[in-house]
Amino acid sequence: MADDLSVVNSARVSFAKSSDKIDDAGIGLINFLMREHHGTPFEHNAFRFHVKTPIFVAREWFRHRVGSFNEFSARYSEMPPEFYVPEADNVRRQTGKPGSYKFEPLGDEAVRENARRAMSSSIKQSIRMYNSLLHGGVAKEVARDVLPVAMYTQFYWTVNARSLMNFLSLRLPETALLEIRQYAEDVEKIFAEQMPITYKAWIDNGKVTP
């Protein structure tokens, strides 16, 4: 239900007008709305995503309150043994000061591979304990306490374009967590495909949420 026309028509209801398609005036209107931070016309649409992410990414994602979520439940279903470990290039160290932290690759290739392998091995040990607890009759909702935040979860997310732009403006910048940034880039692509004129106006106005 996401298209640029919904933006134009919900804005034009102010003048009791509507259109069947977007012309130059419509494009101009979308730019105007974006520039002047008239946000509500960007809400009359909906995107629905089925997302699979590590828990620590989902934790940041669910902080976005304007939108709807339904998530996999580890109370009632067994967690699949799937987990995230960063690519070697993304095993990073933190530099800089509070408020302006930077991240760069840690040591050399061997150091990073080593860290990856250590993480992976620790997570696998936790998964083995999870399975062992389940096998011993412990409830899923208890056994999962030992599982790390690197485990994959999945969820449905339904959101309108305005809230989606807010998500992108917070989760695309360099300061955002690398792992959520990668998801935000995919969300950005889908947004650009579905609402190309709105997307262009958003880019042209500095990626600020209207």
Site for a second copy in 91-110 (CB under 8 A): 91-94, 98-99, 101, 103, 106-107
- Is residue 31 a contact residue for a second copy (CB under 8 A)? no
Residue with tokens 């994602």: 61
- Shortest gap between Cβ of 200 and a second copy (angstroms)? 19
- Is residue 21 a contact residue for a second copy (CB under 8 A)? no
- Residue among 29, 206, 35, 66 nearest 4 (CA): 29
- Is residue 126 a contact residue for a second copy (CB under 8 A)? yes
* Residues that are catalytic: 171
- Is residue 89 a contact residue for a second copy (CB under 8 A)? no
Quick check: 178 and 71 in contact, CB under 8 A?
no
The count of other CB atoms within 10 Å of the CB of residue 110 is: 9
Burial class (CB in 10 A: 0-12, 13-18, 19+), 118: exposed
Sole window of 58-66, 188-196, 199-207 interacting with a second copy (rule: CB under 8 A): 58-66
Site for a second copy in 171-190 (CB under 8 A): 177
Residue placing its CB nearer to a second copy in the complex, 43 or 172: 43
- Shortest gap between Cβ of 89 and a second copy (angstroms)? 12
Residues whose CB is less than 8 angstroms from the CB of residue 65 and which lie 6 or more positions away in sequence, other chains included: none
- Shortest gap between Cβ of 130 and a second copy (angstroms)? 8
- Is residue 5 a contact residue for a second copy (CB under 8 A)? no
- Is residue 154 a contact residue for a second copy (CB under 8 A)? yes
Quick check: 99 and 175 in contact, CB under 8 A?
no
Both tokens of 9, joined, read 């028509």
Give the DSSP letter string of 119-138: HHHHHHHHHHHHHHHHHTT-
Q: Which of 160, 188, 191, 210 binds a second copy (CB under 8 A)?
A: 160
Separation CA 180–CA 182 (nearest Å): 5
Site for a second copy in 63-82 (CB under 8 A): 63, 65-66, 68-77, 80
Separation CA 88–CA 65 (nearest Å): 33
- Shortest gap between Cβ of 158 and a second copy (angstroms)? 4
- Is residue 27 a contact residue for a second copy (CB under 8 A)? no
